[in-house]
Amino acid sequence: MTKNVTQLSRIAAALTVTTLIGCGGGATTSTDIDAVDTSAPATGWELVWSDEFENATIDDNNWTREVNCDGGGNNEAQCYTDSEENAFVSDGALSIVALPAEEGAQKPYTSARLITRYKADFKYGRIEMRAKMPSGQGSWPAFWMMPTDEVYGGWPRSGEIDIFEAVNLKAADADGNPEAHIYGTLHYGQEWPNNDSSGQAYSLPDGANPADDFHTYAIEWQEGEIRWYMDDYLYATQRRSEVRYNSNGEATGLSHRGWYTEYFEQGTGELVTHWDNAPYDQEFYLILNLAVGGEWPEAVNETGIDAEAFENGQRFDIDYVRVYECASNPDTGAGCETVRPGYDSLDDALVEGAAPIPSPPSTGIAENLTIFDGTTNPNWPVWDCCGGSTPALVEDSAEGQVYEFSIGAEPTVMGFISRELFITEPAGQASPFDASPMEENGSVKFDLKMMSAPNDTTATWLFKIESSEGSTAVELPLMTGYVGPADTAGDTPEQGVWESYEFPLSALADAGLDTSAIDVIMIFPAWGAGEGAVYRVNNVEISQESAYPELVIFEDEMNPDWPMWDCCGGSTPTEEIDNDEHGLTAEFRIGAEPTVMGFITRPVSGGGDTPFDASALADGGLLQFDMRVVSMPNNASAQWLFKVESSDGATAVELPISDSVEGQVPAAGEWQTYTFPIADLQAAGLDLSAIDVIMVFPNWAAGEGAVYRLDNVKFYHPDGDTPATTELTIFADTAADQWSIWDCCGGSTPTEEVDDADHGTVAEFRIGATPTVMGFLADDDVYFDASSLLSTGVVRFEMKVSSAPNDASAPWLFKIESGDTSTAVELAISESLEGADPITGEWQTYTFPLQTLYDAGLDISAIDVVMVFPAWGAGEGAVYRIDNAEIAAQ
């Protein structure tokens, strides 16, 4: 119960509050109580500790009474005392009683909180209580656990387990019905106030209320999993997060989003996120308490505290508390699970946690994203978070088709979203955008016209952007991004005028945004102050002028992060004016001391420590410079060289300058251009990801007397904003190089056959009596990395069934594998975007989005098999042809 209103409102969201991150917290379980035998005892559990409350007094060997008026961190209205009036044993039960305090007391109520810390601490097991709850507006009973030793840091990094809690039982809910919900919750994650929680609400069938009778409340806690029960009915399951990795061992996401924690590593002192059993792999102690009021109970139901309900006291009666150990495996708690069908399904009892989602490794390719420019992007629908409206496409006299947002009485935020829950178009798919390759030069841009100001004319307009399901977010005043049409921004948007806004990705990253998985963009008046606002939005994009990274080292002036540099000769290269075409240039002079010269970003040599990642330029990118030799070296046979290094010299490539594309040697007095393809440098062994030195010089010890000037030194891509995207045509007239048409197990040899004029040569497959699957297979050690296509790519092919299987009911399947079967996804062919089953004699197209396959568990970085076939053992007699099979942008 160490919580504040932010965390608790998320748990109560199913009943009261809707928030952006998740837009809904715990959900009430709909229970079919007749489907489960709730009287069946749990098996395999061995009782290791209990308090049956049969003594005359509270057992001090088990419990410590806490005494404080701290308010529980939630502004609660009680002081916890050690008075027998607030906690006592009678008739075989413990009673915790909340009472009105004496006049003038520090808090208006007194109550009790009992803990077992250092007397009874537990790791794994079944923890159970039988109790009858208090009622009334403001009541807050709880049975929960906190870490005995905060191994991972202060709350909530070391975790919290709420076995049971309820607020305001029998007070009226929003529909006028008596409140009857209980909650099971975990708290974990980052340091407050950025902490996280996840849980589930539950209510008894037939309107039964926990305040009317005794019921059992329990968890079963094992390594990596915790389950919640009421009267032995399993209503919630929570698990550790499971990280997905690609073939390179890089984290690409979560196969299950559960709990997590972050803590400082002892060896390095680095704050690290952990998706594992922590923090629920340490000992915890038990807590029983009855709070009065606080930010959660006072904000819901009838609100506040009903003094009459507490006039004669409210009682939390506990029959017993018992702790069991899994006798077969006490070290992990596994093997004694009391489960039911659906306990591990997100559609039933399994709770999705709040762990941050590891971003897939960046492809390094900067691709611009258009979210809306008069045409909708099905992967990024328009969105009203919480107000219940549907933003509309309207015709604007100046801009044509634009989106119009209208804010009513309900507080809300609005914008565009790319999360699976909000994708409604059949062709749409959640496509978080990786803007990290353009972080240095890219921006979020949009145009806005305010049609009507909010009724509250002082309302601040805001821009907010989130990534990885809200794992990181940045909110800024809208007007800080104003770029026109006026020279300066006003305090709010000008009514009736289209205005442009731009927010640099570098600034957003500096403010804490993970730019690798952007999934929400919002534009809105401040929460609760927007009523009456009507505004239009157009030209929403995340882009940079060039979709390729570019580095200018010297062009009319020196790049301060890449100063001119004399390695070893003791000179200081200078900036000198040359002719009208070149203007200011970099001049280097070599004296008697042997040396090499150029440009450097290493801080030890005065550089700005900004190594350049040229990975995205590997396909088609260039390193280019202009040079004029003012004076040749005294040694006329000296060879001119070009050298580039990366990662403090960990890799380097040195070439004769005549190996450039131009193939020329310097001619004294002439400006000449030298171009080196990035791909050639990579092939020669250069690590492109951290280039930190560029050198041009006569060979070592042969350069004395040389004077030369450099200008227009840069890394760039000649195609500018048209990035190269890797695609694979698996079959079109013939199989791709290093791929073959393939029969897994039937012993046949698929063939290439000529079909109609549109298709020409196609791949033909025939299935005989031996069960098999068929398709296309990559050669050994050949894999296709489709990572750069994740957000927009598809697997697509055309198929014509010449003869259907003898078994007419045989379902047709599509299967794709990667990493030598380390991951695979199999789908009915009717689950393609077209949603069609094969029709004999007709060519049909089938499309499967890579995002769908990735979400289903496929590692798209090492695809090596694509199959299309009737179900195993049911395909005999089938003859079918496939053409234009590809993995490509949609």
Co-location of 200 and 317 in the same domain: yes
Q: E strands along 423-512, which residues?
A: 443-452, 461-467, 472-477, 482-484, 498-504
Task: Give the rounded percent of residues in the chain with a pLDDT score beyond 70.
Answer: 94
Residue 12 is part of a domain; what is its CATH number?
Answer: 2.60.120.200
Domain boundary among 502, 521, 543: 543
**Of 165, 325, 531, 587, which one is the catalytic site residue?**
165
Co-location of 20 and 95 in the same domain: yes
pLDDT at residue 253, as a whole number: 82
Per-residue pLDDT of 632-652, as tens digits, reads: 999 999 999 999 999 999 999
499 an active-site residue?
Answer: no
Exposed e or buried b per residue across 4-25, where buried means at least 16 C-beta atoms within 10 angstroms of its C-beta: bbebbbbbbbbbbbbebebbeb
404 an active-site residue?
Answer: no
pLDDT band at 366 (very low <50, low <70, confident <90, very high): confident
Co-location of 51 and 186 in the same domain: yes
**Of 76, 128, 160, 337, which one is the catalytic site residue?**
160
Co-location of 419 and 491 in the same domain: yes
Per-residue pLDDT of 163-214, as tens digits, reads: 999 999 999 988 899 999 999 999 999 998 889 999 999 999 988 999 999 9
Residue 818 is part of a domain; what is its CATH number?
Answer: 2.60.120.430
pLDDT at residue 34, as a whole number: 38
Co-location of 386 and 245 in the same domain: no
Query: Do 573 and 565 form a contact (C-beta atoms < 8 A)?
Result: yes
Co-location of 703 and 749 in the same domain: no
Is the pLDDT at 333 greater than 90? The verdict is yes
pLDDT at residue 32, as a whole number: 38
- State mean pLDDT over 412-440: 89
Per-residue pLDDT of 442-462, as tens digits, reads: 999 999 999 999 999 999 999
Is the pLDDT at 422 greater than 80? The verdict is yes
Task: Give the rounded percent of residues in the chain with a pLDDT score beyond 90.
Answer: 81
Does residue 652 lie in a domain region?
yes
pLDDT at residue 547, as a whole number: 59
Query: Do 740 and 779 form a contact (C-beta atoms < 8 A)?
Result: yes
Is the pLDDT at 48 greater than 60? The verdict is yes
- For residues 122 and 115, what is the distance between their CA atoms, to the nearest angstrom? 13
Per-residue pLDDT of 682-724, as tens digits, reads: 999 999 999 999 999 999 999 999 999 999 999 998 876 544 5
pLDDT band at 846 (very low <50, low <70, confident <90, very high): very high
Residue with tokens 């060289």: 641
Co-location of 700 and 739 in the same domain: no
Does residue 231 lie in a domain region?
yes
Cα-to-chain-centroid distance, residue 542 = 18
- State mean pLDDT over 406-414: 95
- For residues 353 and 883, what is the distance between their CA atoms, to the nearest angstrom? 43
pLDDT at residue 12, as a whole number: 32
Is the pLDDT at 13 greater than 60? The verdict is no
pLDDT at residue 890, as a whole number: 76
Is the pLDDT at 2 greater than 50? The verdict is no
pLDDT at residue 720, as a whole number: 66
Return all residues near 27 (Cβ < 8 A) that are at least 6 apart: 14, 200, 201
Does residue 349 lie in a domain region?
no
Does residue 624 lie in a domain region?
yes
Domain boundary among 495, 519, 543: 543
Which of 58, 56, 117, 51 minimizes the C-alpha distance to 82?
58
pLDDT at residue 725, as a whole number: 53
Cα-to-chain-centroid distance, residue 771 = 41
Q: Quote the pTM value.
A: 0.64
**DSSP letters for 49-70:** EEE---SSS--TTT-EE--B-S
pLDDT at residue 245, as a whole number: 85
- State mean pLDDT over 497-506: 96
Domain boundary among 326, 346, 377: 326
Per-residue pLDDT of 790-809, as tens digits, reads: 877 899 999 999 999 999 99
Return all residues near 781 (Cβ < 8 A) that are at least 6 apart: none
pLDDT at residue 11, as a whole number: 25
Domain extent for 662: 551-716
Is the pLDDT at 546 greater than 90? The verdict is no
Does residue 721 lie in a domain region?
no
Does residue 485 lie in a domain region?
yes
Quote the number of domains for the chain: 4
- State mean pLDDT over 149-156: 95
Co-location of 605 and 753 in the same domain: no
pLDDT at residue 268, as a whole number: 85
- State mean pLDDT over 38-65: 86
Co-location of 67 and 44 in the same domain: yes
Co-location of 535 and 556 in the same domain: no
**DSSP letters for 813-824:** EEEEEETTTTEE
Q: E strands along 564-680, which residues?
A: 564-566, 574-577, 584-589, 597-600, 622-631, 640-646, 651-656, 671-677
Average pLDDT value over all residues in the chain: 91
Q: Phi, psi (5° rounding) for residue 288?
A: -125, 130
pLDDT at residue 282, as a whole number: 98
Does residue 303 lie in a domain region?
yes
Does residue 342 lie in a domain region?
no
The CA-CA-CA angle for residues 736, 738, 744, to 5°, reads 95
Co-location of 432 and 466 in the same domain: yes
Co-location of 403 and 526 in the same domain: yes
**pLDDT higher for 612 or 489?**
612
- For residues 559 and 554, what is the distance between their CA atoms, to the nearest angstrom? 6
